[in-house]
Structure 1
Amino acid sequence: MKLTPVKPFEPIMTDHLPAGDKWIAQIKWDGVRMLVYNDGSDTELINRKGNNRTRQYPELWDTSAYCKADSVILDGEIIALVNGVPSFHQVMRRDSLRQEQQIRARVQQVPIVYMIFDILYCNGEWVTGRTLNERQALLKEVLIPNPHVQLVPSYTDIPLLYEVSQQHQLEGIVLKDLGSVYAIGGKDKRWQKRKNIQDVNAVVAGVTYRDGIVNALLLGLYDEDGRLIYIGHAGTGKLGVADWRRITKEASGMVVKDRPFANQTERQKGAVWIRLEWVVKVNFLEWTPGGTLRQPSIQAFVEMDPRECRGDL
């Protein structure tokens, strides 16, 4: 029977760590969410967005090497480690490839590990209706860990695991109700995530538009030589529709001709440069190897001198 891809269960963000015996915590691995489908003959790897990534990860084609089940759907995260810490940048070097020759070469250059945390289907039977506790027990029975496949450990001391994730600069933790069934396509508080988020005050040096309304701010920090260095663009966060309309109106009177940044920007085309007057607080996950913010989220405008927005760039 050909297994039809499904949309995985998603956790919601939380600022508070739940307590009680029904909760466990797992490390939130910074990688690519991936479901492995094996119908008894063929294996497919499908990511969270429904895109096929089978070719990119030949280490996972032979499910019999890491799973005793005759047919199975597994849920987990594919990660690439750098100095023992997951690197999203590195795993994307594998995930973005399309040519066979490049894939074969990158298998050696960027080893991956599939961190499995759930099972949806086993030996011809859907197990999504079982509790997480029961599904974890089933995973332990059928999984055969190897260098490329590991079972994600679960912990009951939630505050301690969160502290460890911060100490090791990991993405965060996921909190799960042991009594929860697996809700295909669902997203609710039975699964929660607490991220380790950083923040920075950055200068707004440009904007981009969509349908006549500003939809993103181009951000920078001053380096030790006084140059404004581009660190990314942000169009999501806590600003509402009224805020973006206000920004659009005010930005129209702040336009300058020359690019304020000393370096090139990702959004050069369509960018409109503005006077260096605005400062915003931005939450972000981490710095990318290219010196930009990963997953920036605008929190608020900040009253401060833009020249005070400095970074060790």
Structure 2
Amino acid sequence: MSNAEDRLKFIKPLEPELVLEPPVSDDWFHEIKYDGFRTQLIRDWAGVRAFTKNGHDWSKRYWPIVTAAEQLKAKSFILDGETIAPEPDGRPNFHAMHSRMTWNAELLAFVAFDILYLDGEDLRPRPAIERKEILWDLVKPAEGIIQYSQHVLGGGAEFYEAVERLGVEGMVSKRQGSSYRSGPTDIWVKTKCWEFGEFDLLGIKREPGKETVGLMARDGKYAGPATIALTKQMRERLMARVRKGQPPPNTPQAARGPEVEWLKKSIKARVRTLRGEPKLRHATLQGLVEE
């Protein structure tokens, strides 16, 4: 009788490197970056389990996905993908994830983008593009809950423009000939789209030899720094408004310090930042929104 010892084990996922521009050479293929929770589906003799990117077993939360994966025609597999909350047009709605996991798990979907193991063979040494073919053969009959992540060969810049227009979080580019390696690597890279939003400028941090940054908040919560990319005129206008204010109570220690000048009253500012991040990332302050 088999026991727990010979069950397939969770494999630490590959983590793509964040870049600001997609690779343009033809030895890459590109996929949409789905905004959800990274998930690994493992099937062995005892059935299908679903794991988070840190290896926690979430099979109960993702039960409809587990049930759908049981229908795939293979004895054993390990799939790498993303659990999403799709809208009717297919776009993922990250904000709906928690409520669906709690109340409507059947409205979740699993988008498979890689296969690491199939029926006794470790596929990780195989080229990424070959693994996609094997994955397609396994997943193509599935409908709805288990989906296949389509890809495009080459044309990174055009793909990025299309992704930008779709309004999704970004894209992931993978070297066609690369094997699968756990942990951080640059054989996969993710390029996020930019978004613009209004934030409250709380203060200005100036340090010798460094770029001037604005310390930003949203809905009363500290959101992070944004480089100030303003004209000389706007900068002077801004500096004229810097008066001895106080940092808001929830500002982290790291953002304080003698080099910060706090505004007496915050100013609305337009900020460009990477889409789909909890805090500001690679952000720049684009201009002030006049009251």
Instruction: Give the TM-score category using the shorter length.
Output: 0.7 to 0.9
Q: What are the superposed Cα offsets for residues 80-108 of structure 1, whole Å, 9 maximum, x if unpaired?
A: 1224221001123234x4xxxxxxx4235
> Which residue number in structure 1 is paired with residue 87 of structure 2?
82
When normalised by structure 2's length, the TM-score is 0.73
> Which residue number in structure 1 is paired with residue 236 of structure 2?
none
CA distance in 1, matches of 2:88, 2:252: 37
CA distance in 2, matches of 1:231, 1:199: 18
Q: What are the superposed Cα offsets for residues 144-174 of structure 1, whole Å, 9 maximum, x if unpaired?
A: 3211011111112333322221111011111
CA distance in 2, matches of 1:47, 1:256: 37
> Which residue number in structure 2 is paired with residue 34 of structure 1?
39
CA contact (8 A) 1:234 1:297 kept: no
CA contact (8 A) 2:47 2:70 kept: no
Once the two structures are TM-superposed, the CA of residue 21 in structure 1 deviates from its matched residue by 3.0
CA distance in 2, matches of 1:237, 1:68: 50
Query: Are 2:123 and 1:127 equivalent residues in the alignment?
Result: yes
> Which residue number in structure 2 is paired with residue 94 of structure 1?
100
For residue 137 of structure 1, give the secondary structure of its aligned residue in structure 2: helix
CA contact (8 A) 1:175 1:192 kept: yes
CA distance in 2, matches of 1:237, 1:48: 29
Once the two structures are TM-superposed, the CA of residue 38 in structure 1 deviates from its matched residue by 1.4
Q: Which amino acid aligns with 2:110?
A: Y
Query: Are 2:223 and 1:234 equivalent residues in the alignment?
Result: yes
Q: Which amino acid aligns with 1:147?
A: G
Alignment of 1:204-223 (within 5 A): 204-205=201-202, 219-220=217-218
Question: Alpha carbon RMSD of aligned pairs, Å?
Answer: 3.6
Structure 1's 119 and 64: CA in aligned 2 closer, same or farther, altered over 3 A? same
> Which residue number in structure 2 is paired with residue 285 of structure 1?
275
Once the two structures are TM-superposed, the CA of residue 51 in structure 1 deviates from its matched residue by 2.4
Alignment of 1:47-126 (within 5 A): 47-62=52-67, 65-84=70-89, 85-95=91-101, 97=102, 105-107=103-105, 111-126=107-122
Q: Which amino acid aligns with 1:86?
A: P
Q: Which amino acid aligns with 1:255?
A: Q
Equivalent residues, number? 253
Query: Are 2:288 and 1:299 equivalent residues in the alignment?
Result: no
Structure 1's 198 and 280: CA in aligned 2 closer, same or farther, altered over 3 A? closer
> Which residue number in structure 2 is paired with residue 170 of structure 1?
168
When normalised by structure 1's length, the TM-score is 0.68
CA distance in 2, matches of 1:237, 1:93: 32
Gaps of 5+ in 2: 1-5, 204-213, 229-241, 257-261
